Amino acid sequence: MKQKPIAPALEVRPDVLLLDEAEARRVAGLYGLSVTGIIGLLIQAKYEGQVSSLAEEMDRLREEGSFWIQESLYRRVLEMERDG
């Protein structure tokens, strides 16, 4: 598990901690730290008008960044984007 971002966060107590690994997110939750991941950042960017298509961005992450996105999460995000 990547503990490096969690230890400083315990001292600084940021508004949100960027973590994508499930175990690191679980541990951060044990300490009451608010967590988001890359997909959460993309969703926020979409709502702020900085991203035109979540599907395109997630596909780019998958193809160019070798970023694994759970299929159920991918579908939920696409449904959320479609529903507005």
Q: Does this model's pTM top 0.85?
A: no
The pLDDT score that the predictor gives to residue 2 is: 54
The model's pLDDT over 4-42, given as tens digits with 9 standing for 90+, comes to: 778 888 888 899 999 998 899 999 999 999 999 999 999
Q: Which of 36-40, 46-50, 65-69 has the lowest mean pLDDT?
A: 65-69
The pLDDT score that the predictor gives to residue 54 is: 97
Dihedral sign for Cα 9, 32, 68, 60, please.
negative
Higher-confidence residue of 4 and 59: namely: 59
Q: Classify the phi-psi angles of 21: left when phi > 0, otherwise alpha if psi is within -120 to 50, otherwise beta.
A: beta
